[in-house]
Structure 1
Amino acid sequence: MTVSKKLFEQIKLLIPPLNGTLHKGQAGRVAVLGGALDYTGAPFFASISALRTGADLSHVICSPTAGGAIKSYSPDLIVHPILREEIHPPDLESTIDGLLSRLHVLIIGPGLGREDYMQAFARLTLTLAKKQDMYVVLDADALWMVQKDPETIKGYPKAVLTPNLVEFKRLCEALNIDPKSDPKTIASRVSLALGGVTILQKGASDIISVKTPDSASEHQDETVEVDVPGGSKRCGGQGDILSGIVGTFLAWGKNYENGVYGEPKFGSTRIPILSAVAGCLVMRTTSRRAFEKEGRGVVTQDMLPEIGVAFSEVFGAGSFGGEKEQKARS
């Protein structure tokens, strides 16, 4: 199923107005947990993409071995190099909990790595985020964590998982689902096996699916395919940009849920799938625009300046900041 007009109009309701009525932070406060010794680019791409999409503030929670490099990439990011290998994770619980209390969404995985101490911090932070009812995005090595222990995210409806081809295959195997099953329904089966989390299966076309158990209070069974043209070259780091874009829409969704942008017209259960679809639309358009300029030599860095213009291409010039937008919301 492709993106319907109704779904597209619901996505637009999540976008904050650009009319001077909001104060700093009300257009989204995002955090990325990731960044260890060998991985500094991924958390940078995810966090800076959140800002390029329109989030107000973007934080990176990382290891000190990555913090200096990430700080040097951009002064716009708020970097917290607190994930020290020698610290027992529970000793940082109050610090991380206090940080999360000031945020709307948590992205776990870009540059996380598989070292035991980083995985332990990821599990702790995810637990705290769930207690605070935050929206979360799990990507990259956060999916390794889920593969090893699906219970870490099972049944949490405010989660979006963004596996690529290899990660999706491993996730299927961990859940005893044949990776060669019907491609039209397999993402739905993974969502159901994980208790109704939203699955964003990246590929030639992106499949976004959520299927909750029949016993769920708000049962959902929806699959959307996003096949708008993207670039012809797949760059490492492109998935990190997608995570940042999806995270921003989820942050906006949190504020929408709380009535910051006006009276909500649908429930919070819609927000993960709407945010995932929106992220795919913007990311694929961003990739296409960058490829049109750079061709075979395109790198992930080339995509960053294209995010804002891609956003306007998808959702309209001005992106709902003026009088027309206000009338549409009223």
Structure 2
Amino acid sequence: MTLTKPTFDVIRRLIPPLSPDFHKGQAGRVCVIGGSDDYTGAPYFSAISALKLGADMAHVVCQPTAAIAIKNYSPGTLYILVFCKSRHDFKNPDLTSEEIIDNVSSLFKRAHVLTIGPGLSRDKMMLECTKGIILKAKEEHIPMVIDADGLFLIQNNPDIIKDYSEAILTPNVNEFKRLCETMRIEFEDDCKGELAQKLSQAFGGVTIVQKGKNDLISNGNSIFLVDHKSGLKRCGGQGDILTGLISTFVAWGVAYKKNIWQHDNSISPTDIPMLASFAGCTINRECSWAAFSKLGRSVQTSDMIPEIGPSFQRLFER
């Protein structure tokens, strides 16, 4: 088993230039599927992180009752859509899951990538709708980054994501163990890189981001190691920031494949999920360290948000 790292120069090739020739949305449109009565902060962290990194647009598709809270975290910066016929209809409890799935699917043209799971909850209706959204997104070959309760959905329905190489799963240690159990892989704490590779292979080449002291990323063939320095405070919500960061790089990868700007086409499309995951993990760790260095034990996940731009500049700006 060989652990490797891509060079930052390779990752820089995925980053679109700042150009007056671009129109709004070309440099990244991220759609977060999540947000519920109990969890409104997680989808906000994912969406605002995508915007702070450099995505042009971030949408949040959520339960109607979560929309106002999420919008109020940052008025004017997020476009909030809800699980109902109209984003202005907050009182219709009678929609079927099929209607909701169709409504959300109609938004796919606005997204380069779906970020599925932050704040989703384990509500039966939410999970049923999200399952249908994933299946529809696969039909249209839309990349997706899946975390949190999205992973709970995958744990109980592994076939909906199996063999879909455009998917990235970002489990923490407990989520990783449960996914291993689902795919009948014996968990061993001392061979994590090999396990990430085995789990990816079991899912048919889905990219696995195994979060931990060091992050391990595998597509079943290669294994990337991310051992960049990180803050020592493990406050909740850092994984939500990570999904936004990875999703932005995936969106940039879509723009790269479409040749939105002139480049040498030296990056294979099959390498983009791995590179996007490595870049997102590295920036997330840099942000964590920067915020922790200033605030120590009092640091909160919200303190990482202002560090995203400076961290990106330190690591990847030419």
Normalised to the residue count of structure 2, the TM-score between the two structures is 0.93
Cα separation, 2, equivalents of 1:292 and 1:272: 30
Matches within 5 A, 1:147-226: 147-180=155-188, 182-211=191-220, 221-226=221-226
Matches within 5 A, 1:161-310: 161-180=169-188, 182-211=191-220, 221-263=221-263, 264-310=265-311
Aligned residues: 306
Cα separation, 2, equivalents of 1:124 and 1:226: 33
- Compute the displacement of 1:85 (Å): 5.5
Deviations 1:85-112 (A, max 9, x none): 5321111333212201121000000000
3-state SS of the aligned residue for 1:305?
A: helix
Matches within 5 A, 1:85-104: 86-104=94-112
Residue in 2 aligned with 1:215? none
Quick check: 2:83–2:104 contact (8 Å CA) kept in 1?
A: no
Gapped runs of 5+ residues in structure 1? 212-220, 321-330
Cα separation, 2, equivalents of 1:4 and 1:269: 14
Distance 1:152 1:167, change over 3 A: same
Residue in 1 aligned with 2:5? 3
Cα separation, 2, equivalents of 1:10 and 1:124: 35
Quick check: 1:233–1:291 contact (8 Å CA) kept in 2?
A: yes
Over 6 Å off, 4+ runs: none
1:18 aligns with 2:6: no
1:61 aligns with 2:61: yes
Matched AA of 2:198: R
Deviations 1:151-170 (A, max 9, x none): 01000001110000110010
Cα separation, 2, equivalents of 1:185 and 1:94: 39
> 2:116 pairs with 108, 114, 117, which one?
108
Quick check: 1:26–1:260 contact (8 Å CA) kept in 2?
A: yes
Cα separation, 2, equivalents of 1:96 and 1:146: 19
Q: Identity over aligned residues, as a percent?
A: 46
Deviations 1:251-307 (A, max 9, x none): 000010111122422221111000000001100000000001110000011010000
Residue in 2 aligned with 1:324? none
Distance 1:85 1:122, change over 3 A: farther
